[in-house]
Chains A and B, each alone.
Chain A
């Protein structure tokens, strides 16, 4: 991971697993990770939607086949459905033909699907980045806690997180740590490096919302590091204003 000069000299001792990474590379990686996850999630969502449309066309077709024997169904209802069934029977499961066949029902689904999709994609991005961060956190904790004295309570672990882990990954210590002494910790970093490169147009709204995904990976790291030390916690990151960030750590069994 990244070091500033002082800690690099400090840690470049006899440790054989010490490897160094260019600071800019780490910055780029942390930045590029987010669009990558977004692209992946969007592509997967699109593919899934196509697949769902294909199957919904087929089910609509088979449904209309069953209904074609039913005398109660009016012909006005049946004709568009029947065209759908022929399209499906013709072996075409492409999205366009299927939606044309399933008519209003399919239209309604995809109409609401866009809003739900955004949430789903966002969820998928969060999950992917958070799990990546979690895995990285597990490894980092194992690697960098080896020469530390034993952590006896949660606060020790949080201190390790604020001082050591933060300076290893984000090149500075946490600026502020608050706790209610009942299992909730709030870490504030006034100059959070992964957010430091974000430039903002004036009067552009929704920046805080858009920069939120850049905190997913760091929250994962925090959660992974805590998990490695045996603390189950949920971590929430938000930015009150660039480039600062705050992380709320809620350990399992915490009281508000």
Chain B
């Protein structure tokens, strides 16, 4: 048990109207159940709502909830209302594979600051997505997409963005400061 170290289990990107924009699971399904994590992400929204009036300065919401012994959710809310949620699995990967030298630090636990680089990288990726002229943010919001009568998913389909989220999710380990 102690020979495993924390890893990201899920990254969720949630839009302004609490609409799911993108969800990545690590390792991908069927190793992890998409429905389980969809529930987790939904439950995290309440924490955002409850804390938002009190958090006036920072975008980092830190630890949202510890789900069980293994999973914990961390959140970030941008000024434009986009939410990033990272679910960390404390025993996500065998120690010593990705985190050489920091192996065995699992018992110490995580600090909020450990997740900051993840959120910063995610936000950079999201800004990069918005800089793509072919990405129409309003097509991905349920409010305006329903008016136009578009049917189907409002999820992000940009391959570059999805690949970047995947890279971030896979390369993070406790102590990594630059993603």
| Residues of chain A having any CB pair with chain B under 8 Å | 16-17, 135, 138-139, 141-143, 145-146, 148-152, 228-230
Contact = CB atoms under 8 A, between A and B. Distances in A.
Contacts of B158: none
Interface string B126-164: 111011010011000000000000000000000000000
B123 interface: yes
A142 B130 contact: yes
Interface residues of B, number: 22
Nearest to B126: A142
B50 interface: no
A149 B62 CA distance: 16
B123 A139 contact: no
Contact of B57 (A141, A150, A228, A230): A150
Contacts of A150: 55-59, 77, 79
A74 B16 CA distance: 67
Interface centre among B80, B124, B130 (most CB of A within 10 A): B80
29 contacts: A17-B124, A17-B127, A17-B128, A135-B133, A135-B136, A139-B130, A141-B80, A142-B78, A142-B80, A142-B126, A142-B130, A143-B131, A145-B78, A145-B79, A146-B123, A148-B79, A149-B57, A149-B58, A150-B58, A150-B59, A150-B79, A151-B79, A152-B56, A228-B80, A229-B79, A229-B80, A229-B81, A230-B16, A230-B81
B152 to A, nearest CB: 21
Q: Is the interface of B mostly helix, strand, loop or mixed?
A: loop
The interface centre, meaning the residue of A149, A152, A228, A229 with most chain B CB atoms within 10 A of its CB, is A228
Contacts of A143: 127, 130-131
Contacts of A149: 56-58
Contacts of B16: 230
Nearest to A17: B127
A168 to B, nearest CB: 14
